[in-house]
Structure 1
Amino acid sequence: MSGGDAAGRLVRPFTLTGGRTRPSRADFTLITTLTAVDPPPPWPVRPQPEHVRILKMCAEPVAVAEVAALLDLPVSVVVIMLCDLLEAGRITARPPRLVSRATPDLELLQKVRDGLGRL
């Protein structure tokens, strides 16, 4: 786990979540699609660097699993941070689309393949 800042110091996951171990919402899945709100509302308090990194990743739609992989943090920690951003109105979260068994969505399958390749 890198979870380090620019100076190379290790940041413990419980520090990023303020000691919280459970998300405030239970509707995030690994393939929930996240998008940053544009224009973003102002920060009520100084954001953590990881929150800022997540928002940059969410400039284009991105899945929860991909955010966790890019941050090199456990999904459980990332979901808690995503709940913070969602409740602050800084991101939107879309549940996965249902795919008919008769006609597989090739675009979705390619995105999953590409995402797994980046892990």
Structure 2
Amino acid sequence: MTDGAGGYGPRGWDVPDEPASGLVRPYFRTGGRTRPARSLPIEMLVRTTDRGLRQERFARHEHASICRMCTSAQSMAEIAAYLRIPLGVARVLVADLIGHQFVAAGEAGNTPDGRPSVELMQRVLQGLHGI
């Protein structure tokens, strides 16, 4: 039994005939991959390389977004928050870009005693609040 807007699922739940246009499963964005090719800690800073700046076409629009936002160094947390995707998905996408040398990842700025700087911790916290 349907009402024209969609079918009925288990226990009378209304199930639309077509999925919402904005709904994309996270694993779809990574081609089904759930683990990055390399370790990328949440505080790892990512910056677009000259090659990434010159690249005009990317395999996924998220790759282009990451390259645009990382013209100044961004942490993995900030990338995930900006794209509104899970951190694991952001890690896979960034690892793809590193493999093509479109971005470079490096250790975050540390204080002389080896601890992360206050500025870095504030940026990571802001990124986490955005998730």
With structure 1 as the length reference, what TM-score do the two structures score? 0.75
Closer, same or farther: CA 52–95 of 1 in aligned 2, 3 Å: same
**Identical aligned pairs, as a percentage?**
32
CA distance in 2, matches of 1:96, 1:53: 21
Q: Which runs of 5+ in 2 are unaligned?
A: 1-20
Q: Which of 31, 36, 42 lines up with 1:18 in the alignment? A: 31
Q: CA deviation at 1:106?
A: 4.2
Corresponding residue for residue 84 of structure 2? 72
CA distance in 1, matches of 2:122, 2:79: 17
Corresponding residue for residue 12 of structure 2? none
Provide the aligned C-alpha RMSD in A. Answer: 2.6
SS of equivalent residue, structure 1 residue 11 = coil
CA distance in 1, matches of 2:91, 2:27: 13
Whether the aligned pair in 1 keeps the contact of 2:75 and 2:124 (CA below 8 Å) is no
SS of equivalent residue, structure 1 residue 47 = coil
Q: Which runs of 5+ in 1 are unaligned?
A: 1-7
CA distance in 2, matches of 1:39, 1:95: 20
Q: CA deviation at 1:38?
A: 1.7
Corresponding residue for residue 95 of structure 2? 83
Whether the aligned pair in 1 keeps the contact of 2:81 and 2:127 (CA below 8 Å) is no
Amino acid at match of 1:38: D
Q: CA deviation at 1:96?
A: 2.5
Closer, same or farther: CA 101–59 of 1 in aligned 2, 3 Å: same
CA distance in 1, matches of 2:123, 2:27: 31
Q: CA deviation at 1:95?
A: 1.7
Larger radius of gyration: 2
